[in-house]
Structure 1
Amino acid sequence: MKARIIRLLLLFSALLIISCDKKSKDGNNSNSAKQPATTRKDNLNISILLDLSDRIDPVKHANQGMDFYKRDLGYIEAIVKGFETHLRSKPVRQDNDDIQVYFEPEPLNSEINSLAKKLKFSFTKDNTTKASILKISKQYNLASNEIYKLAIKNSEYIGSDIWGFFKNKVNDYCIKSNHRNILFILTDGYVYHRYSKFTEGSRSSYITPEFLKALKLNTSSFQTVMMRNDYGFVKANDNLSDLEVIVLGVNPAKGNPFEGDVINEYWVKWLKEMGVKQPIMKPIPADLPSNLESIIQSHINRNKIHVDR
């Protein structure tokens, strides 16, 4: 009888240990669900490539609604606000986020280059404070306004080598491991620079209004014509699958109702051939920043729960 009681006690103790162990594991799983480990998607690396060609000239490309350089400034403001929201959405200990501005080629005005350096921010757990986050918008508003003012005043528009930027710099400048890499390109959609102008068969490293006009892509069958002749940009890079690209400010020339669609076709085909999975052209033609602000910020902070800090 005594032996039987001892066996029952041992069995009860074993069941109790198993039950406690299971609860402990369940509890740990529950905590893990509430506080997931940091992933690459929690780290943002945002780059903004500015096209400072004559498209920003308020005289040559006057617009009654809003000058195009002012639209750029509005887009930049929306991007920066989205970045700030991202920083406030996660604990400081997880911060590993960057935002910066680039030009290609480097502007001739050294003052513009100095201003651009002030727009490079890198946040980690060691330097992030509420004050440092609030500083971003102020710095970007002041410096970006001055950059455009100087570029317009100098009126030395040498073009924008977007093709060359993708060939030579995008990997080093815009892609960081363990980050969600987003490149915003502010441009009218035309790509031209005298040092990167060439063709390979029916492909080119550039497009201009005159170039597209010569191809006679001015009917609703433009896609068929482009596919048949293999029109498009020469591929400048490979394996950009770790980069998101969003193009803002496209401004097609007047006279061809399909010009914007042709520009879109060139860009999307080019970016996809280089490995960019879902390039975004928003919208065509260029819209007011107030209409795009929520779209830009929502894309930056998709699936984010805002936690103010």
Structure 2
Amino acid sequence: MRKIFYLLLIILFVSCCTKEPETIVENNKVTAIADPNNINVSILIDLSDRIDPKTNPNLTMEYFQRDTEYIKSIETGFLDHIKSKKIITYDDQMQVFFNPEPSDPKMNEFTKELKVSFDKNTNKDYFASVEKKYSELPLNIYQSAIKDGNYVGSDIWEFFRNKVKDYCIKDDHRNVLFILTDGYMYHEDSKFSQENKTSYLTSKLIKSNKLTTSDFSKLIEKNKYGFVKANENLSNLEVIVIGINPEKGNPFEESVIKEYWEHWFKEMKIKKFQIKSADLPSNLDSIIKNIILNK
């Protein structure tokens, strides 16, 4: 009897201490909250002419070089996260996307190489392999795009409309999407408007909407300017936009760009997001890593 009593006590103790997966209820549907220890990191690169050192030169540090350093910080933060876990709990991945795909067929090979995943069977040597890939291949991508010179723009709106759920969101994972862009959004294939909302944002549009004075926020609200909503519910996705780089001449341009993005994310129910300027990588390094490490 005593053995049975102790056995029952042990079972009761384990039951009380075992934490059930947290859930959320939305539209009468119960969904498990993503495990923050499993991370799914995606990087969407804007390969428009913003990276062209001839069109948009920067004497301090070219924008394509800044991007490669941002990507390196993302990779380092990702690996630091993996190393903080027990091997048996490895279930994490990272990948790079473009939209649309560049014409250079080598780009497809680069993205294949940059799609990395860790599980409990991952060999220790794989860490060095990932570090090597992310030290070399991103620069190759930018150099190839610059050499090609055919900057077709970046269809970010269409990516959010048709691809983000399939490409960037995994069940039972913390899903983090980094977007490397100057903040403008334009592609011929997705250029349209619905009333005063658009699928694109250019400096010309900002001027035509007269968002060039300190009361731009009131004008945006009054006229309901902004991006057309591209998706209904992306609450299980975190988004970090890095590289906002407004054209010169309008002191409020950067704030307008950020407000467009903020309203867009909120409409799509993205709860966690950050929008950062095209700062020097050394200034953003710890910020990027802390985002991945959820600090």
User: How do residues 291-302 of structure 1 correspond to structure 2 at under 5 angstroms?
Assistant: 291-302=283-294
C-alpha contact (below 8 Å) 1:99/1:122 kept by paired residues: yes
Counterparts of 2:168 and 2:255, CA distance in 1: 27
- CA-CA distance at 1:32 after TM superposition: 6.5
Q: Which residue of 2 aligns with 1:195?
A: 189
Fraction of identical pairs, as percent: 49
| Residue of structure 2 aligned with 1:171, choices 165, 171, 177 | 165
User: How do residues 74-85 of structure 1 correspond to structure 2 at under 5 angstroms?
Assistant: 74-85=69-80
- CA-CA distance at 1:29 after TM superposition: 8.3
One-letter code of the match for 2:179? I
| Residue of structure 2 aligned with 1:206, choices 191, 197, 200 | 200
1:101-128 deviation line (CA, Å, top 9, x unaligned): 00000111111221111100111112x1
| Residue of structure 1 aligned with 2:36, choices 28, 38, 41 | 41
User: How do residues 127-146 of structure 1 correspond to structure 2 at under 5 angstroms?
Assistant: 128-146=122-140
Q: Which residue of 2 aligns with 1:3?
A: none
Q: Which residue of 1 aligns with 2:156?
A: 162
* 1:111 equivalenced with 2:106 (yes/no): yes
Counterparts of 1:28 and 1:168, CA distance in 2: 44
The SS at the match of 1:40 is coil
User: How do residues 27-106 of structure 1 correspond to structure 2 at under 5 angstroms?
Assistant: 40-106=35-101
Counterparts of 1:212 and 1:150, CA distance in 2: 31
One-letter code of the match for 2:51? I
Alignment gaps of 5+ in structure 2 = 20-33
Q: Which residue of 1 aligns with 2:24?
A: none
Q: Which residue of 2 aligns with 1:230?
A: 224
Counterparts of 1:165 and 1:261, CA distance in 2: 24
Counterparts of 1:72 and 1:23, CA distance in 2: 57
> Which has the greater radius of gyration?
1
Q: Which residue of 2 aligns with 1:243?
A: 237
Q: CA RMSD in A?
A: 2.1
One-letter code of the match for 2:133? Q
The SS at the match of 2:247 is coil
More strand by share: 2
One-letter code of the match for 2:223? N
Q: Which residue of 2 aligns with 1:10?
A: none
Counterparts of 2:294 and 2:237, CA distance in 1: 16
- CA-CA distance at 1:132 after TM superposition: 0.5
C-alpha contact (below 8 Å) 1:163/1:191 kept by paired residues: yes
* 1:184 equivalenced with 2:207 (yes/no): no
- CA-CA distance at 1:64 after TM superposition: 1.3
C-alpha contact (below 8 Å) 1:190/1:208 kept by paired residues: yes
Alignment gaps of 5+ in structure 1 = 1-12, 34-38, 304-309
Deviating 4+ runs (over 2 angstroms)? 20-33
Counterparts of 2:161 and 2:186, CA distance in 1: 14
- CA-CA distance at 1:140 after TM superposition: 1.2
One-letter code of the match for 1:80? E
The SS at the match of 1:99 is strand
Counterparts of 2:135 and 2:273, CA distance in 1: 27
C-alpha contact (below 8 Å) 1:272/1:279 kept by paired residues: no
The SS at the match of 2:93 is strand
The SS at the match of 1:249 is strand
More helix by share: 1
How many aligned residue pairs are there?
A: 282
C-alpha contact (below 8 Å) 1:272/1:278 kept by paired residues: no
Counterparts of 2:251 and 2:11, CA distance in 1: 63
What is the TM-score normalised by the length of structure 2?
A: 0.90
User: How do residues 266-281 of structure 1 correspond to structure 2 at under 5 angstroms?
Assistant: 266-281=260-275
One-letter code of the match for 2:140? E
1:121-149 deviation line (CA, Å, top 9, x unaligned): 111112x1221122212101111111101
